[in-house]
Every structure is written in structure tokens, then in C-alpha cells.
Amino acid sequence: MVYTTLDIDETGESIIVIIIQPENLRRMRDTDPITLESANRGGLMRVPKYPQQLSLLIAYEKDEDEIYRMVREGRIGDLMRHLERGRKFLPGVDGSQNSFRIPVG
């Protein structure tokens, strides 16, 4: 799995990016969930700079070598374009339809 948080000062937004790789997907199919831990708990996840303007991008990528190459070279813009190359965002549907919030408390 590849994880990062992008804080975009120009727009005042943060994006958490999670890239699921083939091995992650195999484990998830066997009911082994992915977990991310905060830095305070010894993990990688940090608090986003703009939590009120937060997006979560979860992608699946088979071409691990290309992903790692872009990350190593610091080509985050290229990485984001690559991950979103097949995006078909449907306003009012994606992020809301067929989604529900689990009541807590």
C-alpha cells in the first residue's frame, strides 16, 4: 500500500491518497483489512492541515514499479494524474449514492 497526505495551500484543502496494490487486494479478499495508524501510534498517517476541506482518494494500481518511480522522483502531480486517468466522477452520485454513515454513540 502507498499512502500520503497532500496539503494544498493554494486551495486550502487536503487529500489523503491511498493506493491499494495487488498484494493488499489479495489479503482483503481473504478478509484481512487494511489499517492505517497515526504517527502517534507508530504509523505513517498524519493529521491533515485542512481537515475541514478533506478528500480521500483510494485507488487500485497493478503497475507498482511506475508508482514507486513517480514517488521516488517526487512527481506527485504526475502520480495524481496517473491515478485519476480513468475517473468518471458523477456529481451527486459519487461520494453520496450507495453510501451511508454508520451511527456512533
For residue 46, give its domain range. 2-83
Query: Quick check: is 103 in a domain?
Result: no
C-beta of residue 36 within 8 angstroms of C-beta of residue 45? yes
Query: Quick check: is 95 in a domain?
Result: no
Query: Quick check: is 91 in a domain?
Result: no
What the block records as the C-alpha cell of 52 is 475541514
Q: What is the mean pLDDT of each run of 10 residues along the chain (105 residues)?
A: 93 95 93 92 94 94 89 91 85 68 80
Query: Quick check: is 92 in a domain?
Result: no
C-beta of residue 28 within 8 angstroms of C-beta of residue 14? no
pLDDT at 97: 65
Place of cell 449514492: 97
pLDDT at 96: 65
Query: Quick check: is 61 in a domain?
Result: yes
Give the count of domains, the chain. 1
CB neighbourhood size of 58 (10 A)? 11
DSSP string, 71-103: HHTT-HHHHHHHHTTT----TTTTTTTT--PPP
Is the pTM for the entire model greater than 0.85? no
* Cβ within 8 Å of residue 103, ≥6 positions away: none
